[in-house]
Amino acid sequence: MNRILFFVCLLSIGIMSSCGSRKSSVLGSKSPNSIPNTSSNTNKPASANANAYIERYKNIAINEMNRYGIPASIKLGQAILESGMGNSYLALEANNHFGIKCGGVWNGKSVTRPDDNINDCFRVYANAEESFKDHSQFLLRKRYEKLFALRKDDYKAWARGLKDAGYATNPKYPELLIGIIERYDLHRFDRAESYVEKETREEKVEEIIVEKEIEEPAVIPEEIKTPVAMVIYEVKPSDTLYNISKRYNVTVDQLKTWNNLSTENLSVGQLLVVTK
C-alpha cells in the first residue's frame, strides 16, 4: 500500500507509511489515478470508472465479509483508496490492490517498487480476487483482532478501529475512508448478523489468528504493509484549486485527477489529496 506521503501520502481523498514516508507505489500508477472526491456532498453521481470498479469487485468483498466479518464497504473503500480505483501501477501490473508487501510467508511472484526503500518488494497476484482475499489474511493478525469483535455492518467503527490499530498514520484516515464509503454508497453491500452468527464468526476468526501466530514467523507489520500516511488539505472559505495548487507546488490538473474532480468547484470543509 504504498504510502502517499500522506500518502499514501495518498489518495483517495483523499488517504497508503507515515506522513513523512515516501508515496506508496500503489498510487504511483502508469495512468493517472482516479481518486474519489470525498466532500460532504455524497449525492454527487459516482463516475463510470468508480461504478465499474465497484461492480467488478463487490462480490468478492461480500464473500470475504461473510467469511470473516470485514465489512464489504471497508474492503471496497480501502481498495478504491489504495489502488486509485485499480489504476495504480501495482494494481495494473501486479493485481495488487492493497499495497501488500512480500513480508511474512510469501513465496509467490513479486515486483520491486520504490516506497519506503528504493527496492521494496511487493506481492504479485494471479488476479485481483487473490489480492482481495490476501487483504483479509493481512488483517487476520493480533494487531487487528479487536476489529473482528465489531459488527460487520458497522463501517464507521471499523474505519476508526483501523486507524487506532495502526493501519494508517493520518489522523483523518477514518473520515477519508468513511467519505468514500458514503459517496459511493458502499455500505449497501454490508449485512447485519444475529448474535449467534456474530459469536460463531468471532470464534472462527480467533482460531485463525492464533494459528497464524504459531505458523507464521514474527514479522514487523510495516514489512508487509506500510501504514497509510497521506497528506490532505481541508478546504477553507477563500480557497480555489489554483491557490491550493500553488501552495503545494502541484498543478490544478493533478489535484483534479488525484481527487476525481470534474470541475474546479470546491466545498468548505472538503478534504483534498494534495501530494502524490
- pLDDT class for 51, splitting at 50, 70, 90? confident
Contact 96, 102 (CB under 8 A): no
Gap between the Cα atoms of 51 and 63, Å rounded: 19
Amino acid at 19: C
Q: What is the Rg, in whole angstroms, of the alpha carbon atoms belonging to the chain? A: 18
Cα atoms in the 13 Å half-sphere on the side-chain side of 273 = 44
* Predicted pLDDT at 220: 72
Whether residue 46 has pLDDT greater than 70: no
Whether residue 42 has pLDDT greater than 50: no
* Predicted pLDDT at 276: 53
* Predicted pLDDT at 57: 97
Round the average pLDDT of the chain to a whole number and report it.
Answer: 80
Determine phi and psi for 7, rounding to 5 degrees.
-35, 115
Whether residue 60 has pLDDT greater than 50: yes
* Predicted pLDDT at 219: 67
* Predicted pLDDT at 229: 67
Q: How many residues does the chain have?
A: 276
> What are the E-state strand segments in the chain?
110-113, 120-123, 232-234, 271-273
Whether residue 151 has pLDDT greater than 60: yes
Whether residue 32 has pLDDT greater than 80: no
CA dihedral for 222, 226, 228, 232, sign (positive or negative): positive
3-class state of residue 4 by DSSP: strand
3-class state of residue 228 by DSSP: strand
Query: What's the whole-number mean pLDDT along residues 42-51?
Result: 54
Contact 182, 49 (CB under 8 A): no
Q: List pLDDT tens digits, range 225-270.
A: 888 766 677 889 999 999 999 998 888 987 886 676 778 999 887 7
Q: List pLDDT tens digits, range 119-148.
A: 889 999 999 999 999 999 999 999 999 999
Query: What's the whole-number mean pLDDT along residues 143-156?
Result: 96
Query: What's the whole-number mean pLDDT along residues 185-204?
Result: 95
Considering the chain, what percentage of its residues have pLDDT values greater than 90? 49
Query: What's the whole-number mean pLDDT along residues 64-78?
Result: 97
Q: List pLDDT tens digits, range 80-126.
A: 888 878 878 899 999 999 999 998 788 899 999 877 778 889 999 99
- Name the one residue in this structure whose C-alpha cell is 489474511: 137
